[in-house]
Amino acid sequence: MPLIGESFPHIEVQTTHGMVRLPGDYKGKWFVLFSHPADFTPVCTTEFVAFQRRYEEFRKLDCELIGLSIDQVFSHIKWIEWIRENLKVEIEFPIIADNTGSVSNMLGLIHPDKGTNTVRAVFIVDPDGVLRAILYYPQELGRNIDEIVRMVEALKVSDEEGVAIPANWPNNELIGDSVIIHPATSVEEAKKRIEEYKHYDWWFCYK
């Protein structure tokens, strides 16, 4: 399975929007690939509605969504029809139909001790096709979609400003919405840090 910092595998997949090449078709954009155990299940339905409700927030971050399970494409199509007709929510992002399980096995989404369906995994991939973050959840636990939005935003800020992001950002208990300056690498730089930035010590500076 791919690891954080590696290039996302080059694969071609069948989706509800036709064939998609990953990561190529998303070059220049962030994307979040997330797996769900099965169509027509309650927790997965709540997640898909939650992802769709926040789709505009992802788009504002120049980030696309793509779902995945081992169901066939006709099942995906019927399920999103059910969501539209019964919950009045239009699922706009594509869903991969990995009915052979080849993509799921490649990405480490099937954990035998948790059954034959995919666990709830999240892969955040940057515009260069590099895997930046991975989350895994068991089938019985629905995800916090706001946290995934926060992760994409935080990674973008980290890249753009060359900083690290504190816990619970932008509502950190110590420094609020500030970001952390990377530690100094010399005695001279350490001295300058406490003159240039807010700080608790030379190794804990922020702006």
**91 lies in a domain?**
yes
Q: How many structural domains are present in the chain?
A: 2
CATH no. for residue 206? 3.30.1020.10
Among residues 80, 85, 97, which one has the least CA distance to residue 45?
80
Res 115: pLDDT: 87
Residues 23 and 113 in one domain: yes
Strand partners, 33: 66, 123
Res 66: pLDDT: 98
Residues 16 and 100 in one domain: yes
Is the predicted pLDDT of residue 21 greater than 90, yes or no? Answer: yes
**86 lies in a domain?**
yes
Res 159: pLDDT: 98
Residues 96 and 16 in one domain: yes
Name the percent of the chain lying above pLDDT 90: 97
**36 lies in a domain?**
yes
Res 27: pLDDT: 96
> What is the average pLDDT value for the chain, to the nearest integer?
96
Task: Please list the active-site residues.
Answer: 44
Residues 49 and 123 in one domain: yes
What is the b/e burial string over 25-43, where b = at least 16 CB atoms within 10 angstroms of the residue's CB?
A: bbeeebbbbbbbbbbeeeb
Res 70: pLDDT: 95
Residues 26 and 84 in one domain: yes
**81 lies in a domain?**
yes
Residues 60 and 134 in one domain: yes
Average pLDDT over residues 40-47: 98
Which contacts (CB < 8 Å, 24+ apart) does range 187-196 have?
Answer: none
CATH no. for residue 21? 3.40.30.10
Is the predicted pLDDT of residue 54 greater than 90, yes or no? Answer: yes
**57 lies in a domain?**
yes
Residues 23 and 86 in one domain: yes
Is the predicted pLDDT of residue 144 greater than 90, yes or no? Answer: yes
Which of 108, 143, 178 is at the close of a domain?
Answer: 143
pLDDT confidence bin for 97, thresholds 50/70/90:
very high
Res 1: pLDDT: 82
**178 lies in a domain?**
yes
DSSP 123-168: EEE-TTSBEEEEEEE-TTS---HHHHHHHHHHHHHHHHHT-B--TT
Domain that holds residue 136: 11-143
| Cβ pair 80, 51 in contact under 8 A | no
Is the predicted pLDDT of residue 119 greater than 90, yes or no? Answer: yes
Which of 143, 171, 190 is at the close of a domain?
Answer: 143
Residues 104 and 178 in one domain: no
Residues 117 and 169 in one domain: no
Is the predicted pLDDT of residue 96 greater than 90, yes or no? Answer: yes
**151 lies in a domain?**
no
